[in-house]
Amino acid sequence: MRDKIGVAVAGCGVVGSGVVEMLTRNRQIISRAAGREVFLKYMVDIKKLDPPEGVTLTQDLDQVLADPQVKVLAETIGGARIAYAYTRKALEKGISVITSNKELVATKGDELKALAEQNGAWYLYEAAVCGGVPVLRPLKTCLAGNRITRLDGIVNGSTNYLLTRMEQSGLSFPAALGEARDLGYVEADPAADIEGWDARRKLAILANAAFGSNLSDDPAIATEGISRLTARDMACARALGGAVKLIAHGELVENGWTGWVHPALVPQGHPLYDVKDVFNGLCVTGDCVGQVMFYGRGAGMLPTASALVGDLIEIARDLESPLILEKAQPPRMISPMSRTVQAALRVEEGILSLCEAVPVEHVVSLEGMNAVRTRPMPLEQLLAKLDAARGLGVQTGIPLLLL
């Protein structure tokens, strides 16, 4: 019989508790899918918890890693400090790690993947992007024969909920944020979501899977969050035939890859237009398959646990032979400033001066403002022209990049 696989869950908060529940409730289903017995043996946490029967609760990670039955550590601690130390310890001992920790993957993932390979272990992180929606594994398996050329995604459910409420109910950003906080859709400190950092990390992870880029490209991705958006921006987007979404965009270019995270105008008819509330959507373009879309809940205890357990099953099926792909030179990260874009924006005052400063394709007059769609131009040129127009007294909202 193939060796049993003991699992330890480090960090038993929302996601970790979901993994514990799933491994307990669906133990037989998971073991059957894995082709060998998979069982939860340890929960590692400083809190006093009530573990399931037969599971040991401990604060001592060294005790856990010394147990020869433990083959996989599920790291659901979060952050890039303790989680990094725990992950390194496990991988150095040849114990595979699965995680939902996008911050750690984006900041230390290149190093941790190399460490896993050196020690004959796996480091997998399907749950770090789009929660329970499988996207990384399909990119690396089902779509692996394609040259992936473009990614466009709504990858943060919290911001998508905020924008949906502003769009549908006319709420101000502070009012929508307060509602989302009451419902538990955002953290007490929502900065990572609303400033776009979470989406930026996820784009770095997606680009690594799709283009082979470095995970550490994360800080170089141009990022604008949603905190400066207003209900009037939503009205302008509607007038121009679209809706406002926080989009993570990546594409292959001649000398590497480029990308941005930015509020965008998504036109009616685009697959991402109807992605609302806490749902995520990702459009992937391949040279042979064309455009495909992934859609589903991007967060939550059990959806995220489902993605972690999917990684666990992949490891269990081939524990002794971690997949090592032939390495290619990672594409260089290139600033998007030279890329040609179009933008939509709200103009409160000074529409004539704006039209003199910025090439405009279409204007819709609304009550007390105008909705403007610019002509295509390099992003750097667009931003410079908008700055010049504001210097002339033009009052505008932030530009919404057009998909």
- Is the CB of residue 207 less than 8 Å from the CB of residue 250? yes
Find the helix or strand (DSSP H, E) in which 262 lies. Answer: strand 256-267
CA–chain centroid gap for 341, Å, is 23
Residues 6+ apart with CB under 8 A from 321: none
- Report CA-CA distances (Å) from 381 to 337, 378, 384, 385: 8, 5, 5, 6
Nearest to 14 by CA among 204, 185, 135, 134: 185
140 a catalytic residue: no
CA–CA separation, 397 and 300 (whole Å) = 33
Exactly one of 71, 102, 113, 202 is catalytic; name it.
Answer: 202
Numbers of helices and strands, H then E, in the chain: 14, 20
Helix (H) or strand (E) holding 281: strand 279-286
34, 50, 270: which is closest to 152 by C-alpha?
A: 270
Region of 389 please: left (phi>0), alpha (psi -120 to 50) or beta: alpha
Catalytic residues: 202
